[in-house]
């Protein structure tokens, strides 16, 4: 009986802290880590098909099926986090939590696929990107375009 009461109080405390924004749910953290895995590569210049073929496979975007299109941002995560500090703009889904900045990127477009074999064409450029940010502090959680 005392254990049930203690657990109930802990749950109430956690819900209160979540409501106040003092504790972030792991969902936001996992989305931030997923964003980094899928879109951040500060160590390479990219731009080639060889780069895309390697990175898409290494970063797990060829299983269970080939991802059609992906963009890698060639900037450190601090620079990308700073994009979240720019003024809000509307995302493709209508939410107002997107932000834009100009960075160097490699766009990887699927050109051929067969079981266990995804082939991509790479194209490097410096261009405007739009990312959705969430959390406190704001961090990138979705590449919007």
Alpha carbons 112 and 32: distance in angstroms, whole number: 29
Structural domain boundaries enclosing 98: 41-143
Residue 6 belongs to a domain: no
Q: Determine, yes or no, domain membership for 8.
A: no
Q: What is the pLDDT of residue 1?
A: 55
Could you tell me the mean pLDDT of each successive run of 10 residues in the chain, 145 residues long?
45 40 57 98 94 97 96 97 98 98 98 92 98 96 96
Residue 11 lies in a domain: no
15 vs 12: CA distance, rounded Å:
5
Whole-prediction pTM value?
A: 0.80
For 28, the 3-state DSSP assignment is helix
Quote the pLDDT of residue 29.
87
Quote the pLDDT of residue 22: 40
Task: Let me know if residue 12 belongs to a domain.
Answer: no
**pLDDT at residue number 115:** 77
> What is the model's pLDDT at position 2?
57
Domain membership of residue 68 (yes or no) is yes
In-domain check, residue 35: no
Structure tokens at 34: 């997923």
Q: Is residue 133 in some structural domain? A: yes
Residues serving a catalytic function are 39, 142
Q: Write the CATH number for 99.
A: 3.10.130.10
Q: Please state the domain count of the chain.
A: 1
Angle, CA of 68, 120 and 139, to the nearest 5° = 60
Main-chain phi, psi angles of 59, to 5 degrees? -90, 5
Residue 116: predicted pLDDT? 80
pLDDT at 35: 98
Q: Would you say residue 50 lies in a domain?
A: yes
């Amino acid at each position: 009986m005392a254990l049930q009461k203690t657990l109930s109080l802990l749950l109430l405390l956690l819900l209160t802290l979540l409501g106040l924004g003092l504790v972030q749910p792991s969902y936001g953290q996992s989305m931030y880590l997923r964003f980094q895995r899928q879109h951040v590569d500060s160590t390479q210049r990219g731009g080639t098909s060889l780069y895309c073929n390697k990175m898409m496979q290494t970063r797990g975007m060829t299983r269970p099926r080939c991802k059609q299109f992906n963009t890698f941002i060639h900037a450190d995560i601090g620079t990308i986090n700073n994009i979240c500090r720019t003024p809000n703009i509307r995302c493709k889904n209508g939410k107002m939590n997107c932000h834009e900045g100009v960075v160097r990127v490699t766009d990887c477009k699927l050109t051929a696929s067969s079981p266990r074999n995804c082939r991509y064409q790479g194209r490097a450029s410096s261009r405007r990107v739009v990312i959705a940010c969430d959390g406190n502090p704001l961090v990138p959680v979705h590449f919007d375009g």
